[in-house]
Structure 1
Amino acid sequence: MPIIKPISDLRNKTNQISDLVHKSHEPVFITKNGEGDMVLMSLAKYGEMERTLDLYEKLAVAESQATAGNRGRPLDRVMADLRKRIRAFK
């Protein structure tokens, strides 16, 4: 169930709204004059959403390339590159 609060709560109960956003791990929808106006979310949740969107964009590009006939790189080459990167971090 979405969490919906009037903009007056944002103005008058900022700390409670902040606590609600962080404790619920869900966005809080703010209304103005009974209409949706904005969405508040924690910085952590926003970062998670950005990473998810980035992954979806990369998957869409990969799917498009595969559909166009791009076969990509052989698995053994990918694995060798990954092993090199892992060794570099040790």
Structure 2
Amino acid sequence: MNTVIRPSADLRNHYSEISKQCKETRNAVIITVNGRGDTAVLGLQDYYQMKSELELLRTLAEAEEDVKYGRISPIQESFDSIRSTLLERKHK
């Protein structure tokens, strides 16, 4: 991933160009204020994809932790428990 760095004035004066660049290259543009990194700009599609991938990674990390600490049960046991709970609710 190539990172492009541009001053905040460019965001104000060349927004369309920066937006197009983010969408076409699918790379973030770092906006600086007084020479220091301040904000990252990326296309909306890339933002949603990144957010989705991060959520998946969090879920996988939680699952790995559950396995590590024995917080798991056989799938058939889980289905039986769910089925039992649903039947109880149905008969109430």
- Shorter-chain TM-score: what band? 0.7 to 0.9
**In structure 2, distance between residues paired with 1:32 and 1:24:** 23
Larger Rg: 2
- 1:48 is the counterpart of 2:49: yes
CA deviations on 1:14-53 (whole Å, 9 max, x unpaired) are 1111111111101110011100010001110000001111
**Aligned-residue CA RMSD (Å):** 1.7
> 2:69 corresponds to which residue?
68
Structure 2: any 5+ residue segments left out of the alignment?
80-92
**In structure 1, distance between residues paired with 2:17 and 2:3:** 17
> Shift of the alpha carbon at 1:67?
0.7
SS in 2 for 1:70: coil
SS in 2 for 1:37: strand
Q: After the TM superposition, which segments of 4 or more aligned residues of structure 1 sit over 6 Å from their partners?
A: none
Query: TM-score, normalised on structure 1?
Result: 0.77
Sequence identity (%): 32
Query: TM-score, normalised on structure 2?
Result: 0.76
